[in-house]
Structure 1
């Protein structure tokens, strides 16, 4: 028999994952907070969050499927595709190395709503600072960046290991600081998400393999479908948005959401 309340939770969390994964607002932070509100924090929820993250990755792969095929086929004999692939690999390496050493400790001690709320606020203030400081665009396209900029953005991405910082936020803001245009920084964040999130997902699935059971298939399917659709729509909308807008609206959202969590915790309105 289907557990309709649980399926509703899966639908809500799938939409949350898809909407927030590629925005500079922290999908992990939102899943922790919303999951706590929905009282969905058991062992099943841990595997569920891995599954819906995979859906978001596949949504980006589908959106950029032509480019991915072009790079995959051309990187062996064409310089532009080879340089692009190498830059993505270089940008991915810092997160890979540091993730191996700190992944377990971070998930054990920092994955809670109050820690996330603090990171949301601090991250929002950093976005406001980056947006308001003078900057010069040196790279209009993601194809123009050198390995040095790729490495710098890769190190910026490692800040997102702290839940609530936002992987998208760290890479996009890092890209802006290091001279990328808004579109180039955003697209680099999307492409860099593929190996980074895929590696994290494979690792998490391996660690949680004993928790995978067929009885959870309907719950996972609902969350997966919701996350895929929401993520695909978000990627397309965000690229259109950044052409003429700053990221300040996301900064104010982060600050407001973080303060709301802290206020409700302080006043006892919500037991986080």
Structure 2
């Protein structure tokens, strides 16, 4: 039964982590339905998040290596002028805020009611971003200035509110800052690597006392499932962004919020 739960939750994490629909909201719903709670469940969520982020590392390894000058030929993906300073500038706001407000975030912004509100507000932000893009004729730059990276970093702070969606906030922030949608999405994925490794690594360290050898099969299956599913989900999501805006994802968030509300009530 535990391995079945690992596959289900790993798949949920992989499917939703990089789509602008809130992986947290989906995991809370799925975990409650499966009655998977407690300290082991919290540690498991950290493990499968690391599985998802490893999918980005594998898919975008050339771009990541190029940030450190370890890959000579410029990868033909993501912002055309991306360098390590963009990542640092964009990561500073959420890094500082997340460190200072960590306990508040865990104790207040992870409640089901809070996630429900975040789903709706995040969806509204995505619609506003697309409205701004439409007023520009749908145009956006494929290069990224440091100022734009900082703006995206400010929007990433919203993702500290569980249910808001890190990819949703950063992609919407990029569009509002004048970045082309696909470029904003790929920068969002790359930016997620240090942010998620840092946050998940800290959570994992704090969870070491709750680990036991009997949990290893659960964690391994969850990690591998999230890794494989996230790779497929990222590739599929990037294809969708070539044809669609963020609006359908916003509508989906509203529907999920309605389901979430009914789930809380009943």
User: TM-score, normalized by length of structure 2?
Assistant: 0.92
Partner residue in 2 for 1:15? 11
| TM-superposition CA deviations, 1:199-253 (whole Å, max 9, x none) | 1011101111111221101001111111001110111111111112111111111
State the distance in 1 between where 2:92 and 2:177 align. Answer: 18
* 4+ residue segments displaced more than 4 Å: 80-83
Q: Which consecutive residues of structure 2, in runs of 5 or more, have no partner in the other structure?
A: none
Q: For residues 170-195 of structure 1, what are the alpha-carbon distances to aligned partners after superposition, in whole Å with 9 as ceiling and x for unaligned?
A: 00000000000111110110011001
> How many residue pairs end up in the alignment?
259
Residue 172 of structure 1 contacts residue 189 of structure 1 at CA under 8 Å; is this kept in 2?
yes
RMSD: 2.0
Range with bigger deviation, 53-62 or 83-92: 83-92
Cα distance in structure 2, aligned partners of 1:214 and 1:70: 38
Alignment correspondent of 1:232 = 231
CA shift, 1:121, in A, is 1.6
Query: What pairs with 1:1-272 in structure 2 (closer than 5 Å)?
Result: 5-74=1-70, 84-133=83-132, 134-136=134-136, 139-141=140-142, 144-266=143-265, 268=266
Distance 1:47 1:265 in 2: 24
The range that moved more, 82-91 or 66-75, is 66-75
Q: Structure 1-normalised TM-score?
A: 0.90
**Which segment is superposed worse, 153-162 or 26-35?**
26-35
Which consecutive residues of structure 1, in runs of 5 or more, have no partner in the other structure?
Answer: none
Q: Are the counterparts in 1 of residues 105 and 160 from structure 2 also a CA contact under 8 Å?
A: yes
Compared CA separation, residues 83 and 245, structure 1 to 2 (3 A): closer
- 8 Å contact from structure 2 (residues 140, 175) kept in 1: no
Alpha-carbon contact 1:91-1:154 (below 8 Å) kept: yes
Q: Deviations over 1:134-184 (max 9, x none)?
A: 44367532xx21111001100100001001000000000000000001111
Q: Take 1:128 and 1:138, find their aligned partners in 2: how far apart are those partners?
A: 16
Instruction: Note closer, same or farther for the CA distance 1:158–1:47 as it changes in structure 2 (3 Å cut).
Output: same
1:75/1:105 Cα in 2 relative to 1: closer, same or farther (>3 Å)?
Answer: farther
- Go from structure 1 to structure 2 and tell me whether the alpha carbon gap of 1:71 and 1:198 turns closer, same or farther (over 3 Å shift): same
1:129 Cα offset (Å): 2.4
